[in-house]
Amino acid sequence: MATVTLRAQAPARRVGLLAGLEHTATLAWRNLVQIKHNPMELMDLSIQPVMFLLLFTYVFGGQMSGSTHAYLQFALAGIIVQNGLFATLNTAVGLNNDIQKGVFDRLRSLPIARSAPLAGRVAADLLKQVWSMALMLGLGLALGFRPGAGVLGVLGATLLMVVFALAMSWLSVLIGMLASSPEKVQMMAFVVMFPLTFSSSAFVSPATMPGWMQAWVKVNPVTALVDAMRALLNGGPLAASLTHSLLWAAALAAVFFPLALRAYQGRA
């Protein structure tokens, strides 16, 4: 049995910023190293994006745009956005899992920065987000996608996706804190995210849709994001859609960040 001794010193009451960052980094590491032992997660992060990219391109491509190559050029931005928005819900699933399994309580009983369990999770999920996006871009390039706006455009698109995902992740945190089980979160992903991402400019030009649908698609924040991503990746007019999508990101964060934090502190 390991020797256990009484700890006499009373450590600082508040956790310093540097220590807080270290705690966050450790917990982000925890969420990343999990991938090693959980093939399912690798599947979510790698195989699913690749599968969607290949299916959309080679099943729909010919019919949609006359050639798979042309459709890939059009749809890559949309596929990346859809995948990225779905991935934001991983934050909810992970947090909820930690709460149900008691891991969350264990972390909160440690003398660490109160924000670290949340920040570590969100940071790790954003890194996963970048990985999935890089994979899709790489595969896209290999299949013939040509970024019309060059390297800067690709970097800008990655940044925009991360910013938007970060804004969305507060909604995800809120869901994760309130949902009664990880399964419910997964269900929500399908019920909300599928219609939300499909009823946008992600996969087809809205011009072919019925009028009432076009009206919705125009105001759907996913459309703004897809249009901005497409402009960044393919080239084309950017200002309006970029402003529009950044405003949406700001609005989402403004609404859900305080709500998520309140739910989190309610537990903390």
Partner 1 sequence: MEFAIRAEGLVKTFGTTRALDGVDLVARTGTVLGVLGPNGAGKTTAVRILATLLRPDGGRAQVGGLDVVRDAGAVRAAIGLTGQYAAVDEMLTGTENLVMIGRLLGLPRPAAKARAAELLAGFSLTDAGGRAAGTYSGGMRRRLDLAASLVGRPGVLFLDEPTTGLDPHSRGELWDVVRGLVADGVTVLLTTQYLEEADQLADEIAVIDHGRVIAGGTPDQLKAQVGGQTLELRPARPAELPQVRAVLAAVSGREPELSPTGLLSVPARDDSVMPAVVARLTDAGLVAGELALRGSSLDEVFLTLTGHREPATDEPNDTMKVGV
Query: What's the closest the beta carbon of residue 14 comes to partner 1, in angstroms?
Result: 7
Q: Is 33 in the site for partner 1 (CB under 8 A)?
A: yes
**Amino acid at residue number 181:** S
Q: Is 37 in the site for partner 1 (CB under 8 A)?
A: yes
Q: Is 43 in the site for partner 1 (CB under 8 A)?
A: no
At a CB cut-off of 8 Å and minimum separation 6, what does 90 contact?
Answer: 44, 125, 128, 172
Q: Which of residues 73-102 bind partner 1 (CB under 8 A)?
A: 101-102
The percent helix, strand, coil of the chain (3-state, each to 5) is 80, 0, 20
- Can you tell me which of 51, 55, 67, 111 binds partner 1, judged by CB under 8 A? 111
- Can you tell me which of 47, 51, 106, 218 binds partner 1, judged by CB under 8 A? 106
Residue with tokens 């982000």: 28
Query: What's the closest the beta carbon of residue 80 comes to partner 1, in angstroms?
Result: 27
Q: Which conformational region is residue 219 in: left (phi greater than 0), alpha (psi within -120 to 50 degrees), or beta?
A: alpha
Q: Which of residues 114-153 bind partner 1 (CB under 8 A)?
A: 116
**SS3 per residue for 125-162:** HHHHHHHHHHHHHHHHHHHCCCCCCHHHHHHHHHHHHH
Query: What's the closest the beta carbon of residue 88 comes to partner 1, in angstroms?
Result: 20
Which of residues 28 and 77 has its CB atom nearest to partner 1 in the complex? 28
Q: Write out the two tokens for 77.
A: 């931005």
Query: What's the closest the beta carbon of residue 8 comes to partner 1, in angstroms?
Result: 8
Q: Which conformational region is residue 2 in: left (phi greater than 0), alpha (psi within -120 to 50 degrees), or beta?
A: beta
Residue ranges that bind partner 1, judged by CB under 8 A: 1-7, 10-15, 19, 22-23, 26-27, 29-30, 33-34, 37-38, 41, 101-103, 105-112, 116
